[in-house]
């Protein structure tokens, strides 16, 4: 079976979608290739997101904040799944993704809140990381090759509600 491509979307592509990309690429490098992007890419990854990944022994090499336009053109890799991880991106009108990927919303609370202490920030990033890790682990437990498209779509949506 060939690798499946997953695009994680968030508005700024600076924390949650970046962490999801790194987690999936770490947990299932032979089964999946994960990417991330944002509708209004911030242009840089939040240092706290990178620190959280590094504390969990995950590579941060090559992670960068990028526009979802990189994934909607004719030269972009075809996606099997497109998953939004923030409520704002889920509400936006997305580009038409080549290949008709399955889509789902896995809303995760924004870890970068103004006015938080350093301790609160570390906890917020840890919570976002753990939520994403748990949901990705559920995705990885699905017998993807045995599920029809409609069932798989339902399962993806169910994961986002867990």
> In the sheet where 32-38 sits, what is the strand order?
32-38, 4-10, 81-84, 102-105
The pLDDT value recorded for residue 91 is: 58
Spatial neighbors of 94 by CB under 8 A, at least 6 apart, are 9, 39, 68, 82
Using only C-alpha atoms, the chain has a radius of gyration, in whole angstroms, of 15
The catalytically annotated residue of 6, 7, 9, 10 is: 10
Tens digit of pLDDT for each residue in 85-117? 987 655 566 677 777 899 999 999 989 876 778
Q: Which residues of the chain have pLDDT under 50?
A: none
The pLDDT value recorded for residue 118 is: 87
Q: Which of 88, 86, 103 is nearest to 7 (CA)?
A: 103
The pLDDT value recorded for residue 162 is: 81
User: In order of start, what are the domains of the chain with their CATH numbers?
Assistant: 4-153 (3.40.50.2300)
The catalytically annotated residue of 94, 112, 122, 142 is: 94
The catalytically annotated residue of 24, 82, 85, 86 is: 86
Asked if 52 is an active-site residue, the reply is no
At residue 12, φ and ψ (nearest 5 deg) are -90, -15
For the chain, counts of helices (H) and of strands (E): 5, 4
């Amino acid at each position: 079976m060939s690798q499946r491509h997953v695009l994680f979307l968030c508005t700024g592509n600076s924390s949650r979608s970046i962490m999801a990309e790194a987690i999936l690429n770490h947990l299932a490098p032979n089964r999946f290739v994960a990417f991330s992007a944002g509708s209004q890419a911030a242009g840089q990854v939040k240092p706290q997101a990178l620190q959280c990944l590094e504390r969990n022994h995950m590579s941060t090499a090559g992670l960068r904040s990028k526009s979802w336009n990189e994934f909607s053109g004719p030269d972009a890799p075809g996606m099997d799944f497109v998953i939004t991880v923030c409520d704002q991106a889920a509400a936006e009108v997305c580009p038409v993704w080549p290949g008709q990927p399955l889509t789902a919303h896995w809303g995760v609370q924004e870890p970068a809140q103004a006015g938080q202490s350093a301790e609160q920030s570390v906890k917020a990033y840890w919570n976002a990381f753990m939520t994403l890790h748990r949901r990705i682990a559920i995705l990885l437990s699905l017998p993807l090759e045995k599920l029809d498209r409609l069932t798989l779509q339902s399962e993806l949506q169910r994961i986002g509600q867990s």
